[in-house]
Structure 1
Amino acid sequence: MTVQHEENGNKGVFYIEVEGKREAHMTYTKAGNDKIIIDHTEVGDRLRGKGVGYKLIEASVDFLRSNKLKVIPLCPFAKAVFDKTREYSDVLT
């Protein structure tokens, strides 16, 4: 299962496709030049319960670190993961 990333202007998405269909995604909006706001995470029934949401967060953290960005997790799922995962604290605003 590979997490893919797409950016279009000030919006972006991390997503997973299964058989050509997006089954999970996490969307964000850029907030200036140094931050993103994660606003929504959704995992379809087909992938639910398999840790896919965590994979999306992990991909976003890799992206944040490699681009020297910070995150504001407004999505309740993302916020919960960032709050309980200490090793991600370096990317929080």
Structure 2
Amino acid sequence: MKYEIIHEEKYQQFTAKLEDDEEGEIAYAKPEEGVLNLTHTFVPEAYRGKGLAQELIATALEYAREHNLKVIASCEAVQKYLKQHPEYQDLIR
């Protein structure tokens, strides 16, 4: 399933707006110039197991690639995703 994911730079997160005012998100920090630390992924219980976390993570990684950023994966979900998707290994710091 495809979700509309928006980048909320002000809040340092990528957000999927869902039904009933719910949101899924992947949050990040910028610990230094050129580095994006993906710190936290959240998906509401009703949306778990439907691919939303993977879409959020992929969106954040594509953003990092487009902006020539290296990635730190503090979030366990991101660590797991990176192990399963070798095409993003070049982004890991």
User: Which TM-score applies when normalising by structure 2?
Assistant: 0.89
Aligned length: 91
Residue 70 (1) aligns with residue 70 (2): yes
- Following superposition, the deviation at residue 20 of structure 1 comes to 6.6
- Provide the rounded CA distance (Å) in 2 between the counterparts of 1:49 and 1:23: 15
- Following superposition, the deviation at residue 18 of structure 1 comes to 1.5
- Following superposition, the deviation at residue 22 of structure 1 comes to 3.7
- Provide the rounded CA distance (Å) in 1 between the counterparts of 2:22 and 2:8: 12
Kindly indicate which of the two structures has a greater share of residues assigned to strand.
1
SS state of the match for residue 60, structure 1? helix
**Aligned-pair identity (%):** 29
Matches within 5 A, 1:12-91: 12-19=12-19, 21-91=21-91
- Provide the rounded CA distance (Å) in 1 between the counterparts of 2:36 and 2:73: 8
Q: Which amino acid aligns with 1:2?
A: E
SS state of the match for residue 37, structure 1? strand
- Following superposition, the deviation at residue 56 of structure 1 comes to 0.5
- Provide the rounded CA distance (Å) in 2 between the counterparts of 1:6 and 1:20: 20
Kindly indicate which of the two structures has a greater share of residues assigned to helix.
2
Given the alignment, which residue of 2, 6, 9 partners 1:4? Answer: 6
The alignment yields a C-alpha RMSD, in angstroms, of 1.4
Report runs of 4+ in structure 1 exceeding 3 Å deviation: none
User: Which TM-score applies when normalising by structure 1?
Assistant: 0.89
- Provide the rounded CA distance (Å) in 1 between the counterparts of 2:25 and 2:50: 14
- Following superposition, the deviation at residue 79 of structure 1 comes to 0.9
Are the structure 2 counterparts of residues 22 and 4 from structure 1 closer, same or farther at C-alpha, using a change threshold of 3 Å? farther
